[in-house]
Amino acid sequence: MSLWKNIRRHRLAYLLILPTAVVMATIVFYPLIRGVLISFTNMNQYNMGSRFVPASYRFVGLNNYLRVLASREFWDIFIQTIIWTVTNVFFHFTIGLGLALLLNRRLKGRAVYRTLLLVPWAVPTYISAFSWRWLFNSKYGFFNLALKALGADPIPWLSHEIWAMVAVIATNVWLGFPFMMVVLLGGLQSIPKEMYEASEVDGCGPLRQFRSITLPLLKPVALTATLLGIIWTFNMFNVIYLVTEGGPHHQTDILATFAFIEAFHQWRFGIATTYAVIILSILLSFSFFYIRALRGSEEIY
Amino acid sequence: MKQIILLAFALALLLTSCGGKEEKAEGPTVLKFWHTMNQEETITLDGLVETFMAEHPEITIDAQVVPFSDAQNKFKTVAQAGDAPDVFRAEIAWTPEFAELGFLTPLDTLVSPEDQRDYLPGALRYNQYKGRLWGVPQVTDCLALLYNKRLLQKAGVEPPATMNDLVLTAKKLTNPGQGRYGFFWRGDSYWLTPFIWAFGGGLIDEADGEIHINDPGSVQALEFYIALRDEYGVVPPEVDFANDYENMLVGFKTGKYAMIFNGPWATADILAGEQFADPGNLGVTRIPQGPAGYGSPVGGHNYVISSSCRNVPAAYQFINYLNRAEHQAELARRNNLLPTRKSAYELDGVADNAIIQGYRHQLEVANNRPVIPEGGLIFVDFTPNLQAALNGKMTAQEALDATAKAWEQLLER
């Protein structure tokens, strides 16, 4: 059936989605397409034109892409981004799952714990980021003062390539686990109690219950939560920018922070959109394969 | 529902007020003025704005504070649409950029020759781009050598006059066992620039666009910087790039570090420290001379008039009023801001202020950063490379070569 016939038959339905479609087209699809087009030009603040100066940017084909992908820095930072994302989401998930399992049991003061555990999430990022930066201060920070009290050598937290990565990841793990915890707790609570009762009758121990009931039934929720977590962490700009500014020497930069320095300080829209398109393609293709690989789970219900 | 109605009303009001703007040209002049001063400075400034409006009832000033970190992009965004504020307080590095983008009105004919002579040349220089004058300097600053007089006296030393003296003096003030160091440097390239000039290196030659950051003099400067820690041991061995500005101030205020480089913006903070309960204990003098002379980066802010301003004479009258010597002196007395007029330094409360005069002494031999649209961005690529050199990841030569390469990319438009 042609689209037009379809529209005529379901006139009301199409009328009802029209506002959404218009909004999506103007605030999502139009900027997206325009962004992709700009990535093939050399547009920057000097040639983009304004009320006073006519536009003079031109089409440069794949030059921006070649320039970005050919630089060694890009690949170094790409690897840092992968390390950053995988480590963060791993800890978010394991810590979040552990706490969710604890909170899913009947224990005294559960509501209090639950609220307290949400604190990292509720505090504005820049406040916690600055606090962590101070905790990592080599001279006056809590960690080094504690190390000193224990008689150990201080650690150059934010100035050493590996320790700086450890520091920003620790900060982001602290900030990010509550989200995982809340989502997984929701998932746990939606698992029917009868399943556990039935399995108990069948003689299953708690470990077997966890493996055969909890994990498979949590999979759809976990899939969505980790996918969101990966996308957010991949693009997490604030924490790195506020704690280390990508330093020392770009060794804690990820693509999002690096692109910001490269592109936005001077309104180099051509390069900026190139980075945006590259990041978008990475995340899109990843999500596609990730969902495919883990899709089997939906058949369990 | 109530909120929606209120919102609709607010929008309607907003729209009508926008529509009315066009007709205002005939009546009294309203000048929109954006600035980035901090809270304390704004109090002084608001007072000046009030008295200006009292003296000129035909002009109304609509002054707004814009956070410094957003101001550059915010101004560019509105100027792009032709709706910039009439008067803006622009950081020195933004001025040539805005001029290049066509967002500013040139002021060559408005600034009188007497005024041009009265402004400090280094501060005025940042307003000159492509042979025209695009603003007037509002405030200036530079890095100078700050020292703890009592500590130097106790060690029986004078503030150092040359880079060799810096090492010798700092050595006498250093006692690693007690965590005391004669000097402190930062992993921030702005703090390296005095050495670069003192050793005969350079940044970018604005006339021909040539890059001098990897010249032999610049390399020598960075090698000396590193040697202060690795060879002479007069700066703390551990680095903390993300926190070193705060650590430098805390160490200086508590008497751990005897000498640092810093600018007038830090005066109030430093005087709040235990070592400087008596402000007379804070010494401000020139950064030591190197083989090629003195070096210190001039900074500051300018008043500019946007190209969308429809009453340029009134706008200039306003900034010229704010910039009168006695008004600059008031900002100096109350807010430690360095005046840009030579005559302001002779006025009461400024002439007898040893700290301000110390900075003025340094300003006489300070250097301009390249006055090019990219001038504000050179440190973005420079600092990471400096950190790599300080961490031993690169040699001085490699770090500065990498910086030069990044700057080549920056300068291609």
Q: Name all domains of chain B by residue range, CATH numbers in brackets.
A: 29-141+298-363 (3.40.190.10), 144-296+374-411 (3.40.190.10)
Report strand pairing: B282-285 vs B144-148: antiparallel
Which residue in this structure is represented by tokens 């480590």? A87
Q: How much is the pLDDT for A108?
A: 84
The Cα of A27 is separated from the nearest Cα of chain B by a number of Å equal to 19
**Distance of CA B37 to CAs A267, B230, B314, B377, Å?**
25, 40, 22, 21
What is the count of residue pairs from A and B with beta carbons less than 8 Å apart? 100
Tell me which residue of B163, B363, B382, B351 sits closest to B259, measured CA to CA.
B163
**What percent of chain B is predicted at pLDDT more than 70?**
93
Report strand pairing: B132-133 vs B128-129: antiparallel
Tell me which residue of A247, A231, A245, A252 sits closest to A169, measured CA to CA.
A252
**Residue A237 three-state SS:** coil
pTM score: 0.87
At the topology level, CATH places domain A39-300 in MetI-like fold (1.10.3720)
* Alpha-carbon span B225 to B192, nearest angstrom: 8
Count of residues in chain B: 413
Q: How much is the pLDDT for A204?
A: 85
Interface contact flag, A53 B103, Cβ < 8 Å:
no
Q: Could you tell me the pLDDT band of residue A299, with boundaries at 50, 70 and 90?
A: low
* Alpha-carbon span B328 to B326, nearest angstrom: 5
Interface contact flag, B240 A133, Cβ < 8 Å:
no
Which among A46, A51, A247 is the nearest to B81, CB-wise?
Answer: A51
Q: How much is the pLDDT for A296?
A: 62
pLDDT at A297 > cutoff 70: no
Say how many C-beta atoms besides its own lie within 10 A of residue A123's C-beta.
Answer: 13
**Would you list which residues of chain A are within 8 Å, Cβ to Cβ, of chain B?**
44-47, 50-53, 133-134, 136-141, 154, 156-161, 243-250, 261, 265-267
The Cα of B41 is separated from the nearest Cα of chain A by a number of Å equal to 25
Which stretches of chain B drop beneath a pLDDT of 50?
1-7, 9-25
Rg (CA), chain B: 23
Which tens digit of pLDDT belongs to each residue from B263-299?
A: 999 999 999 999 999 999 999 999 999 999 999 999 9
B128-149 b/e (C-beta count within 10 Å ≥ 16 → b): bbeeebbbbbbbbbbbbbbbbb
**Distance of CA A12 to CAs A8, A18, A19, B34, Å?**
9, 10, 12, 51
A250 vs B contacts (CB less than 8 Å): 384
A196 vs A51, residue with greater confidence:
A196
Which tens digit of pLDDT belongs to each residue from A255-291?
A: 999 888 877 777 888 998 999 999 999 999 999 999 8
H helices of B336-395, where? Answer: 354-363, 378-390
Interface contact flag, A245 B410, Cβ < 8 Å:
no
Which tens digit of pLDDT belongs to each residue from B70-97?
A: 899 899 989 988 899 999 999 999 999 9
Q: How much is the pLDDT for B81?
A: 87
Domain spans of chain A, in order of start: 39-300
* Residue of chain A minimizing CA distance to B248: A139
Interface contact flag, A249 B384, Cβ < 8 Å:
yes
Which tens digit of pLDDT belongs to each residue from B160-199?
A: 999 999 999 999 999 999 999 999 999 999 999 999 999 9
DSSP string, A170-219: HHHHHHHHHHHHHHHHHHHHTS-HHHHHHHHHTT--HHHHIIIIIHHHHH
B383 near A CB under 8 A: yes
Query: Angle, to 10 degrees, between the axis of helix A161-189 and the axis of helix A72-103?
Result: 40
Q: How much is the pLDDT for B236?
A: 95
Q: How much is the pLDDT for B15?
A: 47
H helices of B36-128, where? Answer: 39-55, 68-80, 94-100, 113-118, 121-125
